[in-house]
Amino acid sequence: MRVALVAQRPNQTNLALAARSWNGRPIELIERQRELPDIDVPAVVKPRFGSWGREVTLCRDRRELERTVERLVFRPWFRTGGAIAQELIPPLGHDLRVIVAGGTVVGAGRRDAAPGEWRTNVALGATVSGASPSPVAVALARAATEASRLELVGVDLLPTGPGGFCILELNGAVDFRPALAGTELEPAEPASVAGALA
């Protein structure tokens, strides 16, 4: 249960990562009947809980941010839990998901955004291909998992330049499609996940 709760609450996950000094960018909570916080723009606004890329909005300036919040006040999910906003990490058209089970990397995949799309969600047309994460990506994914005390998690990393990554979020509901199979050293079998959690 903790896996789902922490991984589906990006602001809580960010606090866990901040405690270890690896968080990506500060996250601000936006709620009804509260003054809009001072957020660096461009920024990304999205629901607090999993959305498969839906309702994830890029706000290029303060006015776009204000208009987005004005639109969201009519959404039931916003009235219930608010939204989160995070400074935009300049998109490079792809990201990396690293799956960690019991402290072991059991799979990884590169997600390439659909043409004309800046978000890398598969639900929005992104394609997934197998990847061999670099030692830097592996270390960051393991460190984030340890900081959040999750046993099974997909760590989404955004590239920030040559060899660099920033943690985007942690997901407790990860799939195991064939493209994500494998570890840093050898292909993973389904039993390897169970063994890592044993």
Q: Averaged in consecutive runs of 10 residues, what is the pLDDT profile of the chain (198 residues)?
A: 40 48 69 88 88 88 95 92 90 94 92 94 91 93 88 91 87 69 46 41
Give the gyration radius of the chain's Cα atoms.
17
Q: Would you report the helix, strand and coil content of the chain in percent, each value rounded to 5?
A: 30, 30, 40
Confidence at residue 73, expressed as pLDDT on a 0 to 100 scale: 92
> Which pTM value belongs to this model?
0.76
Domains of the chain: 25-87 (3.30.1490), 94-197 (3.30.470.20)
Task: Give kind and range of the element (H or E) at residue 105.
Answer: strand 104-112
Which residues lie below 8 Å from residue 118, measured CB to CB, with a gap of 6+? 58, 91, 93
Confidence at residue 63, expressed as pLDDT on a 0 to 100 scale: 96
Confidence at residue 186, expressed as pLDDT on a 0 to 100 scale: 41
